[in-house]
Amino acid sequence: MIPMADVFNHSDRNMSSEIVSKSLHLQANEESSYFTKAKYMNDYKAVFKTEDVKNDSDFYNINGRFNRDNFNQNQKLYEIS
């Protein structure tokens, strides 16, 4: 990922940052203040080691839930033409 100093010193003011907690991320508790939909759409494979993945739901939470086909379909709603 990116060093935190670079995020704060060289970022655009419209940029948002996500801090990943390995233990909280694997729990994926939707009632937790840690949980956001956007956070679980991202691919965090670079943060986690293979021994961190204990079951299929862990892989699902780490790998991200982003669906490019859905994204492209939704982008058509914003086109002017």
3-state helix/strand/coil string of the chain: CCCHHHHHHCCCCCCCCCCCCHHHHHHCCCCCCCCCCCHHHCCCCCCCCHHHCCCHHHHHHHHCCCCHHHHHHHHHHHCCC
From 15, 17, 16, 30, select the one nearest 61 (Cα to Cα).
30
What range does the domain containing 73 cover? 43-81
Q: Determine, yes or no, domain membership for 53.
A: yes
Residue 26 lies in a domain: no
Residue-wise pLDDT tens digits, 1-60: 556 666 666 666 666 677 888 889 888 899 999 988 888 888 888 888 888 888 877 777
The answer to the question of residue 61 being in a domain is: yes
How much is the average pLDDT of 52-77? 81
Q: Is residue 64 part of a domain?
A: yes
For residue 74, being part of any structural domain is answered with yes
Tally the domains of the chain.
1
Q: What's residue 1's pLDDT?
A: 57
73 assigned to some structural domain = yes
Please tell me the pTM assigned to this model: 0.58
- Flag whether 21 is in a domain: no
Name the residue type at position 75: Q
